[in-house]
Amino acid sequence: MSPLYVRPYVKVHKNDDRDAEAIAEAATRPTMSFVAIKSEEQLDLQALHRLRERLVHNRTRLINQARGFLMERGIRIGSGRHVFQKALENLTDHVEGDLSPRMLEMFEGAATELASINAQVTGLDAEIKSVARRDKDMCRLMEIPGVGPTIATALVAAVGRGQSFGKGRDMAAWLGLVPRQITTGGKAKLIGISKHGNSYLRKLFIHGARTVLHLVRDRSTPITKWVDGLKERAHPNVAAVAMANKLARIAWAVLTKGERYRASALAGI
């Protein structure tokens, strides 16, 4: 069980005896949610994703730091990782502006470190794709628009077959993709998404939703027609989160039912 769910049952001050009593009391509650035990394969796959995420964070920090150093010296580079990497390589090959030899040496080291991180991330991406191609559940997940190897492997690593959730909306709520509700005086008000649960998976699903919003060329499918209609009524960010919510519910249905993605079945999800 999550410690947050056990804490309300702890009486007065915390000690081992009261903790044990609170755990026993919380375990008897009919509405209590329990954490599913992961298999060794899930833990290995989860570790792979965590390693990749750490490398991506380090790469972003390195780029931001180097960009700040250059802006202090009047050198501006366009946005985007690939644009910056190319500009950094050109900078180390040709002296520009008033950069000192010490700064040039530092940027050469940054370029070397960046190339090393890119190679490691590329290797992990290739391993993730290889795992996804060998697993039947992941192959079925990748048939969903906006869901690729990264989302498919991360989802299976986190929830397995999704049996711990009673319905797709429960998994979407666990991912923090549902609006928070504030109720007072019998009046309910919906505000921003809760952002509870697995932040890494939530981020991946939102990125996948943006792919469906902007990059899918065939706009005649039921899912693209639905999101195109939503974009006309709501802000693009709101539409992206709503699309991520729908993708999560579709993914749960594909996992638990063992069926392939069918666009015609979206009405019931």
Please, which residues have CB within 8 angstroms of residue 205's CB and are 6 or more apart in sequence? Answer: 151, 175, 177, 244, 247, 248
Mean pLDDT within 109-131: 95
Mean pLDDT within 5-12: 90
Torsion angle of alpha carbons 74, 77, 81, 87, nearest 10°?
Answer: -100
- At 44-102, the pLDDT tens digits run 999 999 999 999 999 999 999 999 998 888 888 888 888 998 888 888 776 555 678 88
Per-residue confidence at 27, pLDDT binned at 50, 70, 90? very high
Per-residue confidence at 104, pLDDT binned at 50, 70, 90? confident
CA–CA gap between residue 139 and residue 131 (Å, rounded)? 10
Cβ–Cβ < 8 Å for 49, 127: no
Mean pLDDT within 235-252: 93
Per-residue confidence at 266, pLDDT binned at 50, 70, 90? low
Q: Which of 111-120, 198-207, 210-219 is predicted with the least confidence, judged by mean pLDDT?
A: 210-219
Q: Is the pLDDT of residue 14 over 90?
A: no
Q: Is the pLDDT of residue 267 over 60?
A: no
User: How is the chain split into domains, by residue range?
Assistant: 40-134, 136-185+196-268
**Cα angle for residues 98, 99, 102 (degrees, 5° grid):** 145
Mean pLDDT within 222-249: 92
Count, residues in the chain = 269
CA–CA gap between residue 254 and residue 168 (Å, rounded)? 10
Highest-confidence segment of 84-88, 124-128, 184-188: 124-128
Q: Is the pLDDT of residue 168 over 70?
A: yes
* pLDDT value at residue 186: 82
CA–CA gap between residue 160 and residue 248 (Å, rounded)? 14
Cβ–Cβ < 8 Å for 50, 197: no
Q: Which of 36-50, 52-66, 187-201, 247-261 is predicted with the least confidence, judged by mean pLDDT?
A: 187-201
Q: What is the DSSP letter of 178?
A: S
Mean pLDDT within 256-260: 91
Upper half-sphere CA count for residue 237 (Cβ side, 13 Å): 3
- Average pLDDT over the chain reads 90
* pLDDT value at residue 264: 74
Alpha helices by DSSP H, listed for the chain, are: 3-6, 16-27, 40-72, 81-93, 101-134, 136-141, 149-159, 168-174, 199-214, 222-233, 236-257
